[in-house]
Structure 1
């Protein structure tokens, strides 16, 4: 990095970071002025943090996913994860061949206790129906190209994901409904992976009729740490890791202790996120359009940036803990790494690649590559493959207006990123790429507001930021120019 580039990098870093902090600070002050204008049931006043530090700042509890997830990872329900890890370790030491059976029995018991026998029965009916379908497809499709055997599973997967959004009848409790909805979606994504890997993996042909292969498949579907909150992971990776458990020893106790210590890293971040939610109320205020409409530009941008930072921290903790628990269990290469910090992600295509890596690999392996055919396929075919992947994402999150806008903008921005990458292949064109990337990054932020918030808030950002020329639009574009420049420098350095 030359001296001039180093000076620019320093100046732009100060501008970008100070702008982000200033916008969040403005949102913090503005939100506290309007705090008692919103429903107080969005907050919890009696918390461990408020009792310990005698603070009057209430806790924002409107993000249901985080409220439920923290109970399982750092709260009262953590005992279920601890029992799983201890039981799995004992099984590995004494009866390593029965590790899949332990996963099935333990998860079945916990699911019937936490949710209901009705939901557990629904899961087994769902799995049984897919396994029976596989049997018929293999029997009647013996002379058919294996690629065509995927089609019925794609159709059923799309149908079941749509059904998952309407499972409110299974339980009366709000938490149970939420867990049933998300876990049913994860289950059917894993069923798709399970079936297609069994079709495509020729090394499975001699094992498909064995009981052990069936047990490993069920263990893959029921594996407890990521069962409720994800992320998605592929059957092929799980199968190889489970088989390695029978041939590899547990390892030195010191290595297990190191893995447990690394787990505490994510628990500390979870506690940090919980503290932030006592001060930053972006999750609550996004539902009050009439109040957000009165915000000045800095406070509005602070709301948007807070939504994205909290979203990143939430999934960094959830996916990080799930992955670390799998590593402690000896399944090192099963679950992908947690999201990279969004602070140095400035391209939509890079965001999809580095944020939810498990989802990216899932879509790439089971949708994009089969539809794309080969790296030399036509541009239209590649565009069609990408649109199908984004359509699956829209179905996954529910076809709401805000989701449709978010997905459409992401498709356009992804291909804009690719065009910029083709035109400016040289790594020295930092300034030009930052100049062109600035409006693209602004639109990427807006698209994420549609996803993280709602349709009305998304259009509020467009009307009060994007359509307001010259101010605050030019200010925002300059700040994003600084962001693109420093992100490009950081990513180039990391790639070396």
Structure 2
């Protein structure tokens, strides 16, 4: 017994469109695109989806930027002969080498007129004429508008061909092979034997009328072949003429006769003269179409990717792989937008009439499975292939082997129709072959997915991990699709040449680890790897190779802590003075000058990287854990694994930063230094980074006071402040020899200048070197921060077990201490480094200049002079604020916003949120006075998030104020130094209280 048509329709979606629900079978013309599937793992966490979306958007925008650079830069001379004068921008040229779009824009106003006349005609016929006559009026309107759109001879030929096909089908007893052979032959040979009018725009319309008209004829003939339909001949003739004469379904849209019949009957029964809800959605759709049509036409004045595709040799030989891929990507996106307009215009008028046309293409970058591509790109063609090709082939059930062979036969039949439609040229055959390969690989993947072993693995690694692995394995289907686009869009060997070049050169870049060939892709891929499921479990085997400092087995006395802290500081200071072996003297600007004190680094020494790898790894890992991308439990084992992973990640960042520093010429041209010295430099920086990691771990494990990060930052900043205050170094500023230190300069100027008032003025306000106003500003900010450290709210708590035991829980104004400013500094330092690296390599490009322009001052410091980095850098005086108020406003907003955000986020990832504090109090058997245990979280939420956000704002405001006042060491640096020193002071007081006095601290 054969399968029913409804079952086959569902099976078509299951086999080639796996896990995509079928359209409701009660209404075959329902084009609702919403899908869901219980068999596909659930969505990933929102932050990870935002990350993936951001990567896609940024890559897409950058591809357009690259296409613009190439079109108006190195490739401009190759493609100028393809350019044509703009029709609405005098003096401008535009790329109209895409023949289809060139023809369409010539005839679009004619199409809009005909569609509009047709919609008006059928509207008046429906509402002004009685039912029997209105149908004839609709047919006559459609016939006349068809003639006006094409020509009388075109419509006569098409209707004569329709009569021939229908008669031949009837004569052969309804054999489906007959209409197939006749219509496919007509499609393939129409341009050779069918008469056309002169003029390219008329030819374009007639060609589409012939092409899509033959599909209409085929649909109707196949409808007749399904059963005895000839009994009511006159009704059938009327319905066929209504179908053939409906204009919106005669060009670019494919709608089966059964679907049209159902839509027309619903439309005819609806006697409502005007429905605003229906018209409103159609009008909004038309507005979007008008925007996209204007957008693509305007964009062709700036981006000329189609012309580049017509120049294969020069394109491949003169552009790198990244540029070729960007051009191919943009060509694909413009191809998609073009068909949004071409498919959308008739769909708009059909929707305006009250019909349900196939929707225009959605954004192709959102289609993850190739089996869904046809459904989302050309839904009318999808429905046609599904009902007219696949279902007839797959009607009868067969054994497994024969069923597989028949499935392949159905696939060949489907793509055979596609080849007949597009032609059998070489590049189309390659495209069809790659498309079929994608579907076969995808089908095999679904079969593997349904295996019990895979489902057990799915339960083991979780839904999120399973979805990530599936997304990674989809590269096996995405890759053929990408090269299929090359072949489809690149004609006469262009696609083949580009594809082979990308494959060969891209493979060589990968095996040679040539990151410079695809910097953004490599960077974003690295970020995306961090979001893989079970991240900690994956790296667990490697954590054993990371050296660690064992935790003390006994309590460390205060004097021992002081000794280990002093030893740690001594090692750090020694490393700050040992120069790297093998570096060449370079007068290039220092991209990290403004962050050296904050990152505790010293240029050209073993401490070149400072604490940057530790802070960066900690920031990324803590944020990933906080937003639940990395799952971290509360058990000691999982916390230890997380800390080991953070160290391992810090080592990887150290190696990565070392490679970037060496390969980008920070210490001289790598080709001049030599591979051996480059390797030695990387090894030195890596070992120094490991030393910093171990020193920090030594202090944090309880052997010393505080943490290594805090100690190194405070030391570096205090060193900077003391040096700029008392530096005996002399500098010739053009007005004589001056001392660099502000305090020494005061006495020197008073002693050497005859005009004492002028000497005092210069000592207080000199602009090129540290002055006394800078020193006073530093003291003022220092005092303010110390004063604000005492601001706190003390919440009363009591023991839940012992009556009468009371205490307070303090919530400080600076609830997250200096963490917001450390994270903000790490963020800005990385942005600055990346910006200056890009500026050194691709300076002058629009995108790079938007990111940041850089200049040098007399002290070989990298100064941001424009772009994003300029606005993220602080103005260093009130004069700079006055001269550029926009810079001031952007910097204030950025500092306050990032500090508040980091402070608010940090409480969730550092175990200091209201939930965590309530848990800590509960573990200590403490509760808040006047509140039950269950309401503690709610009460703490009134204070902690507010204190974190407001404290972050205050930290940012203090840093901004210090920068504007010109404080020595930058506002961020002073803030860090003060908070760190205050932490050490609190530690000292605590130890003193435990030891019973100062003497007890050192004698016990």
TM-score calculated relative to the size of structure 1 = 0.84
State how far apart, in whole Å, the 1-side matches of 2:51 and 2:117 are. 51
Residue 123 of structure 2 is aligned to residue 89 of structure 1: yes
Is the CA contact 2:68–2:303 (under 8 Å) kept in the aligned structure 1?
yes
| SS across alignment from 1:353 | helix
What is the aligned partner in structure 1 of residue 449 from structure 2? Answer: 424
- Sort the Cα spacing of 1:171 and 1:252 in 2 relative to 1 into closer, same or farther, 3 A: closer
1:471 aligned to 486, 509, 514, which one? 509
SS for the counterpart of 1:343 is helix
Structure 1 residues not aligned, in runs of 5+: 487-496
Q: 1:190 aligns with which of 216, 233, 252?
A: 216
Q: Secondary structure at the match of 2:297?
A: helix
1:31 corresponds to which residue? Answer: 71
Distance 1:174 1:271 in 2: 22
1:112-127 → structure 2 map (5 Å cutoff): 112-127=147-162
Q: State the partner residue of 1:295.
A: 319
The answer (yes or no) to whether the contact 1:186–1:227 under 8 Å persists in 2 is: yes
Please name the residue that 2:425 is paired with. 400
Distance, in Å, in 2 between the alignment partners of 1:10 and 1:250 is 45
The structure with more radius of gyration: 2
Q: Check conservation: 1:297, 1:472, Cα contact below 8 A.
A: no
SS at the partner of 1:43? Answer: strand
Partner of 1:43: 84
Query: What is the deviation of 1:30?
Result: 1.0
Alignment check: 8 A CA contact 2:427 2:488 kept? yes
Distance 1:118 1:485 in 2: 65
**Do 2:95 and 2:300's aligned partners in 1 also have CA atoms closer than 8 Å?**
yes
Query: Could you report, residue by residue, the CA deviation over 1:231-270 in whole angstroms, capped at 9, with x for unpaired residues?
Result: 1110001112223333221354423541334322222222
Equivalent pair of 2:146/2:247 in contact (CA under 8 Å): no
2:283 — aligned with what?
A: 260
Give the structure 1 partner of residue 328 of structure 2.
304
- Counterpart of 1:345 in structure 2 is 367
- Give the alignment of 1:435-450 within 5 angstroms: 435-450=472-487
Matching residue within 227, 244, 247 for 1:221 = 244
Distance 1:164 1:42, change over 3 A: farther
Looking at structure 2, the residues matched to 199 and 485 of structure 1 have their Cα atoms a distance apart, in angstroms, of 58
Whole-Å separation in 1 of the counterparts to 2:510 and 2:194? 44
Q: Summarize the alignment of residues 116-195 of structure 1 with structure 2, pairs less than 5 Å apart.
A: 116-137=151-172, 141=173, 149-167=175-193, 170-195=196-221
Change (3 A) 1:408 1:482: farther
Q: CA-atom RMSD, angstroms? A: 3.0
Give the CA deviation at 1:309: 0.7
Residues 14-25 of structure 1 mapped to structure 2, 5 A cutoff: 14-25=54-65
Q: Residue 183 of structure 2: SS of its match in structure 1?
A: helix
Could you tell me how far 1:156 is from its partner in structure 2? 1.2
Equivalent residue number for residue 494 of structure 1: none
Counterpart residue number, 2:342: 318
More helix by share: 1
Matched, 1:278 2:315: no
Q: How many angstroms does 1:205 deviate by? A: 5.5
Per the TM alignment, residue 278 of structure 1 is displaced from its structure 2 partner at its CA by: 1.9
SS at match of 2:247: coil
Shift of 1:136: 1.7
Q: CA deviation at 1:285?
A: 1.8
> Cα distance 1:305–1:172, how it changes in 2: closer, same or farther (>3 A)?
same
1:233–1:358 contact (8 Å) kept in structure 2: yes
1:481 and 1:298 map into 2 onto residues whose CA distance is 17
String of CA shifts for 1:102-152, please: whole Å, max 9, x gaps.
Answer: 444334334434433322221122112112223323xxx3xxxx6xx2111
2:384 match: 362
CA shift in 2, pair 1:176/1:167, >3 Å:
farther
- Contact conserved, 1:346 with 1:483, CA < 8 A, in 2? no
Contact 1:165–1:398 (Cα < 8 Å) also in 2? no
SS of 1:38's equivalent in the other structure is helix
Give TM-score scaled by structure 2 length. 0.43
Q: Is contact 1:92-1:245 (8 Å) kept?
A: no
Aligned to 2:491: 454
**Measured at CA, do residues 3 and 107 of structure 1 come closer, stay the same or move farther in structure 2, by a change above 3 Å?**
closer
Measure, in 1, the Cα distance between the counterparts of 2:226 and 2:311: 49
Q: Matched residues in 2 for 1:356 and 1:3: separation?
A: 27
Contact 1:193/1:235 (<8 A) preserved: yes
The match for 2:732 is: none
For residues 286 and 153 of structure 1, the distance between their equivalents in structure 2, rounded to whole angstroms, comes to 38
**Structure of greater relative contact order (alpha carbons < 8 Å, 6+ residues apart):** 1
CA deviation profile, 1:57-107 (whole Å, cap 9, x unmatched): 52222223223334555x354222211111111011022444543444334
Rounded Cα–Cα distance in structure 2 between residues aligned with 1:172 and 1:484: 58
Cα shift readout 1:385-424 (whole Å, capped 9, x = no counterpart): 1111101101100111110100011111111112222323
Quote the Cα distance in structure 2 between the aligned partners of 1:97 and 1:478. 68
Taking the aligned partners of 1:312 and 1:437, their CA distance within structure 2 comes to 22
2:100 to 48, 55, 65: 65
- Structure 2 residue matching 1:381: 3-state secondary structure: helix
